[in-house]
Structure 1
Amino acid sequence: MSVSSNKEINKIENKGFQIMGISLPMFMVLTAVVLGATYMGALPKGMIGAFPLMMIVGAVLNEIGNRLPVVKDYLGGGAIVIIFASAALVTYGVLPGSSKEIMTNFMKGEGFLSFYIAALITGSILGMNRKLLISASIRYLPVIIGGVVVSLGLTGLIGMIMGYGAKEAILYIAIPIMGGGMGAGAVPLSQIFGQVLEVDPAQMMSKMVPALALGNAMAIVVAGLLDKIGKKRTNLTGNGKLMKSQDAVKEESNEVIKLDYKLMGIGILLSTTFFVWGKVLAKFIPIHSYALMIISVAIVKVLGIMPEKYEKGAFQWFRFVMTNFTPALLVGIGVAYTDLNAVINSLSIIYIVLVFTTVVGATIGSAAVGHFLGFYPIEASITGGLCMANMGGTGDVAVLSASKRMELMPFAQISSRIGGAFMLILATSLLSIFL
């Protein structure tokens, strides 16, 4: 093919409507192949089959969510549509059961969620300014505690007023929502509650899961609303910057390193090795491996022992993963982690009000404390509040995607992991007080 012919094709490709940067005719061909294989039962197992299906479904739903008038402005846009629409596609049998199994195994069994979060944690922390990381971390825990105190207190008060009961509202709604997700929150909480109350932990889990699922959904919605508020009240947000003093922090190096494929390979190795190191530490320290990973990466960054070249590689890999894999990951969250029936079955007026109170309380408390400690209120409420009120790592991705602040992932993970560990201790203490 001649050079002039290639130029003509490129001109055509760059014109008109595109999805994922791909022209609509080409995208439709790719979609036909992947969906055809899905319904024929020919979709390969593992990542080779899960990736194209999740990327195509995610891209289509993302376009829809980002164009729906009310949804794009107030409900988180593409992120919330991807999660709940993909959950509906498998719940109601629009996509065959075999595809659900492939995607679920890819997310859980093959660890795609962990792979994604490892890239975001490592790259975003190593890509931060050292002085900023030190300054923000010291003042961050009070932001989390502020959100927890206001959330539990307000939910208990409203529960008492509405006749649900203050104790029940705090123990069975507020604490599960603020507990750090499913694996690190609801599961150990059900064990703690079951042991203290002398009931089957599975029974406690059935009480907690609807609150957790509905709270996660509301956290995503509130995240989208906060992004909208930030655009109108610019004094409340740093547009992805957590601290007000961050504007005055000078970059430690003005050197710009161009995109380098070898550096990205280094980034993959660094992110996955830090993840493995967190697992190793968790064998000896009773803290979630994600929290130990965050602490390890932060220590390396603060001490300045990682060559800047490697830090740039981790940052480049983080940006690549975030840009290309986020919609696909949100599909996996909807398919593998969102129980649509649990959310629907829990929809009573009192229950919804109490879940909403928990999420709003976390938002207000963390924003207020964050403001007094020098954080932007919106960023403080997203990370210290909403990322405590969602479903852990999956919720962090959804909330930050809905609020368009994915660069806050390190602080979101601090909330979900270290904050979640704090909630387990608090729950044990409250049970001894209430019972």
Structure 2
Amino acid sequence: MKDYKIMGINLPIYFTLLVILLIAIIFDVLPGGMIGAFVFMMLIGSLLDVIGNNTPIVKTFFGGGPIVIIFGSAALVYFSILPESVTDTVTTFMKGGGFLDFYIAALITGSILGMSRKLLVKAAVRYFPTIIGGVAVSLVFVSLGGMLFGQSPAESMAYIGIPIMGGGMGAGAVPIAEVFSKGLGVPSETILSKLVPAVALGNAMAIVFGGLLDKLGKVRPELSGNGKLMEIGEDDLIEKVNNDEPLSIADYSIGIAIACTFFAFGNIVGYVLDTYAGLDIHPYAWMIISVGLAKAFNLLPSKFEKACANWYKFVATNWTSALLVGIGIAYTDLGQVIAAFSPTFLVLVFLVVLGAVVGTAVVGKMVGFYPIEAAITAGLCMANMGGTGDVAVLTAAHRMELMPFAQISSRLGGAFIILLATFLVPIIFG
């Protein structure tokens, strides 16, 4: 244990920092604003992450750390363990302080610009139709299932189907909740409390399905490529981008500036089209489109793309746990989460994951993919919780070599769902 570290900090020093934080909270002298919020979110988030990643069953089937961070933080508020002043500080930092938007801007910009352009452009020809097939069938399944249980198709798609297929929490459920909030005029925390249970349970079921598909491949070998997505040409598509080379402080500032500017550009486009064309679409959607076009047409120098990718890597590595604490405190009403669970809910989540598998397997076969590998990457890696879910699903399926394609599902597939949600909100709730 003497060599064990949390946040890269040796345990004696980490717990010293934690004790100082707790004393500040007890005496109600925790600084307000960014300082108090950051120190609380980072220290508590990292501790809950360690707990979740080392808890049996939770770490294997429910996503480990991220789930424990979100629900653990929400429980601190729900059971009135956390002083109201700390809750207010974190909530203000997440919402009024813009930390959530700052994180999402880094994530979207860095994840897209950090991909191989060859992989992005060429794989799209076959891979995106496969993803779309999975999304379409999953939404049809959950809509029909909802009708059988007396629930409207719109509600089933919006609160169960779309969030599960959205690529996780930070890049999926959270921006989707913001999109719904803008379109429906409902507080985003109210919506997110409905989305979080679906995402968590969908992740667990996706991992179980990964193991089942691996077993199916052994029984029906003609359906499986044993870790290979398609018969020919795959090696040409898997071209990794080196985002690990050291960057200077100036390079990190480039990543921050470009990510924030893309976010601002999305707001500009959204404002202009809303004001002059009556097209009310969330700025996240325009940001995603603009970053994707910049990558596809090589509009930015490679050095700047790598700067954005490494800035995203820094943010995701160091601040994801902190973000999830903020999501748990500011956006997750544990009372609503508990009320959401029911036998009907479990069946509908199952139908979403099943639809993702069936749709991607069928369309994948049509475009030249092995059905099982298509279902694992384009299906289950859309239905899980992003990066941690990808690792869990591919581990259960014994196909870690498919990670490049799993990342397309988590990154660009999730971005596609945000776009889809933006356009579907006026239709399904109109």
Q: TM-score, normalized by length of structure 1?
A: 0.77
Q: How far, CA to CA, are the matches of 1:62 and 1:346 in structure 2?
A: 24
Task: Please tell me whether residue 185 in structure 1 is matched to residue 180 in structure 2.
Answer: yes
Q: 5 Å matches for 1:169-184?
A: 169-179=152-162, 181-184=176-179
Aligned to 1:25: 12
Q: 1:111 offset after TM fit, Å?
A: 1.4
Task: Please tell me whether residue 333 in structure 1 is matched to residue 327 in structure 2.
Answer: yes
Alignment equivalent of 1:302, drawn from 281, 296, 299: 296
Q: 1:60 offset after TM fit, Å?
A: 0.8
Q: Identity percentage over the alignment?
A: 39
Stretches of structure 1 that go unaligned for 5 or more consecutive residues are 1-13, 192-200, 387-397
Task: Please tell me whether residue 354 in structure 1 is matched to residue 362 in structure 2.
Answer: no
SS in structure 2 of the partner of residue 403 of structure 1: helix
Task: Please tell me whether residue 248 in structure 1 is matched to residue 229 in structure 2.
Answer: no
Aligned to 2:422: 421
Task: Please tell me whether residue 274 in structure 1 is matched to residue 269 in structure 2.
Answer: no
Q: 5 Å matches for 1:342-381?
A: 342-362=336-356, 364-366=358-360, 368-370=362-364, 372-373=366-367, 374=369, 376-381=374-379
Q: 1:16 offset after TM fit, Å?
A: 2.3
Alignment equivalent of 1:50, drawn from 31, 37, 40: 37
How has the CA–CA distance of structure 1 residues 368 and 58 changed in structure 2, closer, same or farther, with 3 Å as cutoff? farther
Q: 5 Å matches for 1:25-424?
A: 25-139=12-126, 142-159=129-146, 161=148, 164-165=149-150, 168-179=151-162, 181-185=176-180, 188=183, 190=184, 211-222=194-205, 225=208, 247-249=235-237, 251=239, 257-285=245-273, 286=279, 287-362=281-356, 364-366=358-360, 368-370=362-364, 372-373=366-367, 374=369, 376-382=374-380, 384-385=382-383, 399-404=386-391, 408=408, 410-424=411-425
SS in structure 1 of the partner of residue 316 of structure 2: helix
Q: 1:339 offset after TM fit, Å?
A: 1.7
Q: 1:119 offset after TM fit, Å?
A: 1.1
Q: 1:363 offset after TM fit, Å?
A: 5.2
For 2:202, the aligned partner's letter is A
Q: Any conservation in 2 of the 1:150–1:364 contact (CA below 8 Å)?
A: yes
Q: How far, CA to CA, are the matches of 1:117 and 1:243 in structure 2?
A: 36
How has the CA–CA distance of structure 1 residues 210 and 358 changed in structure 2, closer, same or farther, with 3 Å as cutoff? farther
Q: 1:151 offset after TM fit, Å?
A: 2.6
Q: TM-score, normalized by length of structure 2?
A: 0.78
SS in structure 1 of the partner of residue 95 of structure 2: helix
Q: 1:243 offset after TM fit, Å?
A: 12
Backbone CA RMSD of aligned residues:
3.6
Q: Which moved more, 1:283-292 or 1:262-271?
A: 283-292
Q: Which moved more, 1:259-268 or 1:272-281?
A: 259-268
SS in structure 1 of the partner of residue 332 of structure 2: coil
Q: Which moved more, 1:341-350 or 1:169-178?
A: 169-178
Structure with higher Rg: it is 1
Q: Which moved more, 1:244-253 or 1:409-418?
A: 244-253
Q: How far, CA to CA, are the matches of 1:99 and 1:363 in structure 2?
A: 43
Q: Which moved more, 1:84-93 or 1:214-223?
A: 214-223
Stretches of structure 2 that go unaligned for 5 or more consecutive residues are 164-175, 219-223, 274-278, 392-402
| CA offsets 1:345-370 (integer angstroms, 9 cap, x no match) | 23332343234433543454345535
